[in-house]
Structure 1
Amino acid sequence: MRLLWQRAVRLQKLMPQTHLSPHTHARRLLATTTASARGSGQEEKENRKWSSPGSKAEMFLYSAFWAGGLGLGYFWLTQRYSSTPDEEVKPDDEAVARLWHITPRKDLPTYKAEQVEQHNAPDKGIWITYGLGVYDVTEFAENHPGGDKIMMAAGSAIDPFWAIYQQHNTLEVLELLESFRIGNLEGLTVPNAEDELGSPWAKEPERHALLKPASKRPFNAEPPIGLLAEKFYTPNEMFYVRNHLPVPVLVPEEYELEIDTSGGEQGGPLLTLTLAQIKALPRHTVTAAIMCGGNRRSEMTHIKAVKGLSWGAGAVGNAKWSGARLCDVLREQGVQPNETMHVIFEGADLDPTSHPYGASIPLSKALDPRGDVLLAYEMNDEPLTRDHGYPIRVIVPGVVGARNVKWLTRIMVADHESDSHWQQNDYKGFSPSTDWDTVDFSKAEAIQAMPVTSAICTPLPGERVKVDPQGGYITVRGYAWSGGGRKILRVDLTGDEGKTWHVAELEQEDSPDGRHYGWSLWTARLPITEEQQQRRKAGGSGELEIWAKAVDSAYNVQPEKFEHIWNLRGVLANAYHKVKVKLA
């Protein structure tokens, strides 16, 4: 059963032979009512994404299904999968899979809630409900990737958990769940998908229309890459958003930050600061880039699939952060340097079990005056927005974004790292040979300082680029950054697969080495060779692939290929950035 999570798409191997695939069930459910309307010889239009009714009967059914709420999913299923009964579900059918749990299955029995409640332990069988579905997850519970948290829903509904853990709503996970379905729940009406009343997502903030979502719940989005290198300080509304849970609603007058410096000792020092008290502390400002650990993950998936949000190169931003220095607060509380200690941060964003998002950093980083760790309340001279941690977030310059905890409510000095999922079982790197069958998160170090990276922002992939008629070059712009305070020394570009390299001009702060936390923007005039120009003039494709690589102050350089750094979580994706364009 350990392999189920990794191999969910192989449903036929997981199910009893009498248990058909979910889309087959849905198709057979309406087969008798749609067969005459479709006609036996109807073929799907190539690349069709939405069904188009043809006959009057078909149009009637189409309207009826829309009115019924679930009809669109049924109709799409019956139309889209009208070839072989057991063909594999395609990855772009995730939206359909999200309807399965609110789809009654006439081939399965109906159970009362009281019957489900009796199956709440391994010896009785572990049943759960999701929407209209009843599922027997007894065999799977022991190997649930979230540990024993699945037992909190034993004999009851997982709906409130999945409402927050939206990472479950992927095709492979939904297929896996449906393979465990044993029946329908009696007396439950189909929920209205548009009804937000009581939803943990009901009070999400508004976002800029140009942000491109990688997921909507929780909201994660990046700006268009073509805009990213236009400003040294990323505008607040265009700064990428990385949320793991619903955005909390905090009232500034009621806000309190608890700081526990006891190191786990009973009755040790405990400090509570209000927002006004934090703002009354000496104000410090630092320019720092924040980058998601999964930035550029989408490029790594071209080598082999990984698990995680499909980020482009825009999950990074650079801002001027202002607030109180954490080192001042900790020293005032008598905290002394200790290389074995850690500082744990917890946010106000809670999961259904009331556990907060959490992360930790070494105490040595927190106490270092040159580490510039802030209790930040301003971003680019404006109050933090809700998406970026209002009213207080911790800024840990040079460190992966996951440690920059937002909506900060608690700080604790401890002799251990945070025990949160995101510290212990995520945001860690592995060998390209490690897979989900062999991975052991407990034996890998949590990511702290990020590696050197760069990305081309303009021109965009596939863009037709005009060659300067006088100089015979094209203009290329982008960003570069390295973690740990390391300065970008150089960005090299090539248009001939490394035969010749050209150095970009840098725009960056004049900060001392070891404290260079902001990114560097760069501009390069990339010469177009005579051969490339002649090929273009002769009517050739005129295609050109631009490569970019950065070098930091420790002379770390980006690796050439993603094959050499692939990892199952798709983090630390810092190979050469390559963009193909067409010469105009």
Structure 2
Amino acid sequence: MLVHETEPYNAEPPPGALLAQLTPLDTFYGRNHGPIPRIDPARWRLRVDGLVDHALELSIDELRRRFPERKLVATLQCAGNRRADLMEFRDIPGQVPWGPAATSTACWSGVRLADVLASAGLRREAAHIAFTGTDVSQQTDPPAPFGGSVPAAKALSDEVLLAWAMNDEPLPAAHGAPLRVVVPGWIGARSVKWLQRITARTEPSDNYFQTEYSILPPEADPRTAAPGDGITLGPIALHCAILQPDRDARLPAGPTEVTGYALAGEDRTVARVDVSPDNGGSWTHADLDAPENPWTWQHWRTTLTLPAGETELLARAWDSTGAVEPESPATVWNPRGYANNSWAGLHVTCHT
């Protein structure tokens, strides 16, 4: 793992480790805003309150007993994925320089959030569902638990889970045990870990991190920005990354396999990936895996004939609506470094 910070722990795997459809637990990226909490599963309870007919307090055993189990393969992606590319265009002080691997896929096991909300008697006026974790961030003043919310329409969708397992193994402490939210198609910050409370509300969560995860105008100062100054992030933006070859690799000239992943976000799928061996001078269509479901990445691959010398490989994705990624990091740069979905670029040197 490439460890960006040890406390809080923030780390991503080398890009080449993401070539499989499911990411092993010890390779799954870790994004945290505070220390990993120590939770006794026997004493832990989930509280469901707010705009419901009757509040609930549920143990893990009660969740397993009262609601049908559901499994779903879904990709999670940090909103700061590929921030390092934005930093090359213009510095972003105080932010983690994520590469292309703050993205991972697992088979999640748990119960549908919709089933739990139905059991609590969700009221019609509830427009947003807020989540609060047990982890406490020092980023806020005073320190406060991490949290966020999604609209009720998303929360009630079949794919949103309260998960207690990954890849048929118990959820590790580092990934939110005993229970976490999984909101497929949305930025990873909405999939709150170490979940302790679900609250039905008329308005979005007032947790600091609900609006901290927003796109500010390029000229804004994140230190003084008001909560309403940015575009609050929800669905993942159409995204593509190159996994192999390695950045700045030295390769023999000639046929070279180039591989990567693409992810459309929300319930869209990737329709096409174009790859260029010459900084956009020419393009070829990559072979693209069919999606397992709308909530997962799609791997792609192609073989390019590379000449001797230095070259810039590029990749761009198109989604099922016909949208294509923007060309340059300059067009999407923002002072928090979120949602970089510009074309993926990779410099290599080929020798004879």
Do these two structures clear the TM 0.5 threshold for a shared fold by scoring above it? Answer: yes
1:523 aligns to what?
301
Measure, in 1, the Cα distance between the counterparts of 2:319 and 2:109.
26
1:199-251 deviation digits (Å, cap 9, x = unpaired): xxxxxxxxxxxx1111111010011112222x110111000001111111111
Alignment of 1:292-311 (within 5 A): 292-307=78-93, 308-311=95-98
Counterpart check, 1:493 vs 2:272: no
- TM-superposed CA distance for 1:435, in Å, is 4.2
Q: Is the 8 A contact 1:545 1:581 kept in 2?
A: yes
Match for residue 223 of structure 1 among 1, 5, 13: 13
Measure, in 1, the Cα distance between the counterparts of 2:263 and 2:222.
30
Q: For residue 339 of structure 2, what is the amino acid of its counterpart?
A: L
Q: Is the 8 A contact 2:187 2:235 kept in 1?
A: yes
Q: For residue 390 of structure 1, what is the amino acid of its counterpart?
A: A
Match for residue 580 of structure 1 among 324, 347, 350: 347
Q: Match of 1:486, SS?
A: coil
Unaligned 5+ segments in structure 1 are 1-210, 537-541
- TM-superposed CA distance for 1:368, in Å, is 2.2
2:2 aligns to what?
212
Match for residue 270 of structure 1 among 26, 45, 55: 55
Counterpart check, 1:419 vs 2:198: no
TM-score, normalised via structure 1 length: 0.57
Q: For residue 325 of structure 1, what is the amino acid of its counterpart?
A: R
- TM-superposed CA distance for 1:473, in Å, is 2.4
1:521-556 deviation digits (Å, cap 9, x = unpaired): 11111234xxx3xxx3xxxxx112100011111222
1:452 aligns to what?
238
Measure, in 2, the Cα distance between the counterparts of 1:394 and 1:493.
35
1:330 aligns to what?
117
Measure, in 1, the Cα distance between the counterparts of 2:152 and 2:231.
16
Match for residue 363 of structure 1 among 138, 147, 152: 152
1:417-454 deviation digits (Å, cap 9, x = unpaired): 11111113x11012334345884432323200010111
- Greater mean deviation of Cα atoms: 327-336 or 436-445: 436-445
Measure, in 1, the Cα distance between the counterparts of 2:292 and 2:75.
15
Residues 1:251 and 1:438: Cα distance change in structure 2 (over 3 Å): closer
- TM-superposed CA distance for 1:411, in Å, is 0.2
Q: Is the 8 A contact 1:261 1:333 kept in 2?
A: no
> Which structure would you say has the larger Rg?
1
1:548 aligns to what?
315
Measure, in 2, the Cα distance between the counterparts of 1:220 and 1:413.
30
Measure, in 1, the Cα distance between the counterparts of 2:339 and 2:235.
10
Q: Is the 8 A contact 1:293 1:572 kept in 2?
A: yes
When you count helix as a share of all residues, which structure comes out higher?
A: 1
- TM-superposed CA distance for 1:416, in Å, is 1.5
1:485-526 deviation digits (Å, cap 9, x = unpaired): 211111110012323211111224343xxxx01111111112
Q: Match of 2:61, SS?
A: helix
Measure, in 2, the Cα distance between the counterparts of 1:218 and 1:235.
21
Q: Is the 8 A contact 1:359 1:423 kept in 2?
A: yes
Alignment of 1:144-293 (within 5 A): 211-229=1-19, 231-262=20-51, 268-280=53-65, 281-293=67-79
Measure, in 2, the Cα distance between the counterparts of 1:337 and 1:303.
46
Counterpart check, 1:313 vs 2:100: yes
Q: Match of 2:210, SS?
A: helix
Measure, in 2, the Cα distance between the counterparts of 1:219 and 1:320.
23
Measure, in 2, the Cα distance between the counterparts of 1:582 and 1:337.
60
Measure, in 2, the Cα distance between the counterparts of 1:562 and 1:405.
28
- Greater mean deviation of Cα atoms: 393-402 or 296-305: 296-305
When you count strand as a share of all residues, which structure comes out higher?
A: 2
Match for residue 189 of structure 2 among 392, 402, 406: 402
Match for residue 560 of structure 1 among 316, 323, 327: 327
Q: For residue 128 of structure 2, what is the amino acid of its counterpart?
A: H
RMSD across aligned positions (CA): 1.8
Q: Is the 8 A contact 1:261 1:330 kept in 2?
A: no
Q: Match of 1:302, SS?
A: helix
Q: For residue 461 of structure 1, what is the amino acid of its counterpart?
A: R
Measure, in 2, the Cα distance between the counterparts of 1:273 and 1:525.
52
1:97 aligns to what?
none
Q: Is the 8 A contact 1:451 1:483 kept in 2?
A: yes
Measure, in 1, the Cα distance between the counterparts of 2:316 and 2:137.
39
TM-score, normalised via structure 2 length: 0.93
Question: What is the aligned length?
Answer: 346
